[in-house]
Amino acid sequence: MRTIRVCWSIWLGYLIVLLSLLIGGSRSVRLREYKFEVGYMKKKPDCIENSYVMGINGHFPGPTIRAHVGDTLHISLFNNISTNEPTSIHWHGISQYGTPWADGTASISQCAINPGETFHYRFTVDKAGTYFYHGHYGLQRSAGLYGSLIVDLALGQKEPFHYHSEFNLLLSDWWHNTSFHQELSLSSKPFQWIGEPQSLLINGRGQYNCSMAANTMNNNATLPQCKFRTSDEECAPQILHVHPNKTYRIRIASTTSLSSLNFAISNHKMVVVEADGNYVDPFEVDDIDIYSGESYSILITTNQNPNNNYWISIGVRGRKPNTPQALTILNYKKASISSSNIIIPNSPPPITPQWNDFNRSKAFTNKIHALMGSPKPPTHYDHRLLLLNTQNLIDGYTKWAINNISLVLPQTPYLGSIKFKINAAFDRRHPSENFSNGYDIFSPPINPNANFGNRVYMFNMNQVVDVILQNANVLSGKNSDIHPWHLHGHDFWVLGYGDGKFKQGYDEKKFNLKNPPLKNTAAVFPYGWTALRFRANNPGVWFFHCHIEAHLHMGMGVIFAEGVQLVKGIPKQALACGLTKKIIMSFNTTNN
Ligand SMILES: O=C1O[C@H]([C@@H](O)CO)C(O)=C1O
């Protein structure tokens, strides 16, 4: 009798362990399935009728994806674009460790998805943070193909800061010319620049050529007062409703095609706690600068007079603006707001700092440090690239070039052509790792001619790579643009920024090796340099490029690759084009 009871209790124990494994296991590793149908839709992002945007499942911006660390996402992406355009979607900030074919870069990680085709993105999200996704084909980001991607900590884990509730703001810019028009302008001779956007959007909503704050006291706005929009109107600003004396996390990501932005909330200080999915040493500011491709989390405390509402503003920095601020409202519940009774804040909105006060921009950037306990950079590098950013001419067309090469992507995705050693797919020679010592970065290029190219910077697995981005003067006149550079597949440590030309052996002595922030996007300021370090530890082929969509289109990017022979399980459909099509079709499984 006693042995039977002992056996029973052992079995019961096993059963409990098994059940808890099953329940716990299914909780920690969850498969999340999404069906995305990409297509054009008639919308009015900035209240102008008859605009067409590229959206997903009838939504613009596309649906927000929300997952936990460790989850696997399966997104079936159906190309329903009526204008016969291929597409692909990049999951910005997600490492794609083990799934480089799911990075969403047409011609690099996969074949572009043709109209009528469905591509299955399957990948795991491995780091909590504020991310987003966007089209990575042609100028589809400018057409509106983007949405938010938020990764929460695994259940039971805690953030290193406290908040009661959160909001999510995805920032973008909007042109009244279509993305086709923009593409034609950029590739015309003589060159026709796309110009500044007509409107800025907060969660896909803006109001063209008017200001919600025009009638507020002491406001010297030159724009007319916007018509009042009820909350059921497409372009009505999304209002942030808060309770007094609480702490809110505001997630802010910028998927702008061009604009560098400044984000501010009147009367409220903000504490920056996260940048590009990495915790930072918290610091308090009145406003933040955010470049295309970046994301931040800030904390605000609602400690102001609860009988008032407050403006939330974004305005253009870094380029001479020709676009009004976009505004929305922080609404304390007491200062009630309803579709018929809007309490417009009684003070003017925050003033966006001078667009060309670059010292202010640099001062903000230099405040960002990694939170204590974050991974530290290796103290030495194995491989250093010095990449000169220049505006050039090729056959009279205006382009951007890196070490005199303007990138033109090949037909066959690099991931396949490197793995299967198809030599004819791209230029196998080593790209240049340096530029002429005598290059005068402060003047227009003496010889403005550059060349097209598609070579690859190949790294050995686990090498430590330094990239020094060097800015320079544009083709003509006295100017140097800001470029936010984004790396796919990795975070990098931002070791430092400097003015003028980078001096090897001297400037590196000032690198921050103690607590540099980990990021996936960093700006290079006019006439300056930015130093980045990363470990080439993610088998695959990775884009590294300026996140200004027009600049990327004009050739401003390079290709990195490491450990491609280690990549396994590329789905056939990722490589069923160009020179890999035949090879991949001869395999009977995906097991390549
Ligand atoms: O790439 C660009 O071209 C224009 C200008 O430099 C030439 O028209 C501009 O402002 C850019 O950023």
Residue-by-residue DSSP string for 41-64: EEE-TTS-SSEEEEEETTBSSPPP
* Ligand 1 atom index nearest CA of 474: 6
144 Cα to the center of ligand 1, angstroms: 22
Token reading at 582:
């035949």
Is the pLDDT assigned to residue 220 strictly greater than 70?
no
Read off the pLDDT of each residue in 208-218 and give the average, rounded to a whole number.
Answer: 86
Q: What is the DSSP letter of 460?
A: -
Quickly list DSSP for 504-567: TTTGGGG---SSPPEESEEEE-TTEEEEEEEE--S-EEEEEEES-HHHHHTT-EEEEEE-GGG-
105 Cα to the center of ligand 1, angstroms: 25
The distance from CA 305 to its chain's CA centroid, rounded to whole angstroms, is 35
- What confidence tier does 219 reach under pLDDT thresholds 50, 70, 90? low
* Ligand 1 atom index nearest CA of 475: 6
CA–CA gap between residue 570 and residue 400 (Å, rounded): 32
State residue 18's pLDDT score: 40
Residue of higher predicted confidence among 209 and 18: 209
Contacts for 486 with CB less than 8 Å, ≥ 6 apart: 92, 293, 520, 521, 543, 544, 545, 546, 547
Comparing 217-221, 296-300, 425-429, 486-490, the range with the smallest average pLDDT is 217-221
For the four alpha carbons of 234, 238, 241 and 246, in that order, the dihedral sign comes to: positive
* Ligand 1 atom index nearest CA of 550: 1
193 Cα to the center of ligand 1, angstroms: 6
State residue 229's pLDDT score: 85
Read off the pLDDT of each residue in 353-365 and give the average, rounded to a whole number.
Answer: 98
For 434-480, write each residue's pLDDT tens digit.
999 999 999 999 999 999 999 999 999 999 999 999 999 999 999 99
Is the pLDDT assigned to residue 22 strictly greater than 80?
no
CA–CA gap between residue 59 and residue 37 (Å, rounded): 10
15 Cα to the center of ligand 1, angstroms: 67
101 Cα to the center of ligand 1, angstroms: 33
User: If 0-12 CB within 10 Å is exposed, 13-18 middle and 19+ buried, where does residue 224 land?
Assistant: exposed
For 501-557, write each residue's pLDDT tens digit.
999 999 999 999 999 999 999 999 999 999 999 999 999 999 999 999 999 999 999
Token reading at 2:
């006693």
**For a pLDDT cut of 70, what percent of the chain falls above it?**
92
Please answer whether residues 128 and 71 qualify as being in contact, where contact means their C-beta atoms are separated by less than 8 angstroms.
no
- Of 357, 365, 304, the residue nearest 335 (C-alpha): 304
Q: Which residues line ligand 1 (CB under 6 A)?
A: 193, 474, 481, 551
State residue 585's pLDDT score: 86
CA–CA gap between residue 181 and residue 185 (Å, rounded): 6
Tell me the whole-structure pTM to 2 decimals: 0.95
For 273-302, write each residue's pLDDT tens digit.
999 999 999 999 999 999 999 999 999 999
Residue of minimum CA distance from atom 12 in ligand 1: 481
Q: What is the DSSP letter of 212?
A: T
Please answer whether residues 164 and 247 qualify as being in contact, where contact means their C-beta atoms are separated by less than 8 angstroms.
yes
CA–CA gap between residue 150 and residue 256 (Å, rounded): 18
- Of 349, 374, 353, 350, the residue nearest 362 (C-alpha): 353
Mutate to test the pocket of ligand 1, among 316, 398, 549 (most ligand atoms within 8 A of CB): 398
For 134-145, write each residue's pLDDT tens digit.
999 999 999 999
295 Cα to the center of ligand 1, angstroms: 25
- What confidence tier does 218 reach under pLDDT thresholds 50, 70, 90? low
- What confidence tier does 217 reach under pLDDT thresholds 50, 70, 90? low
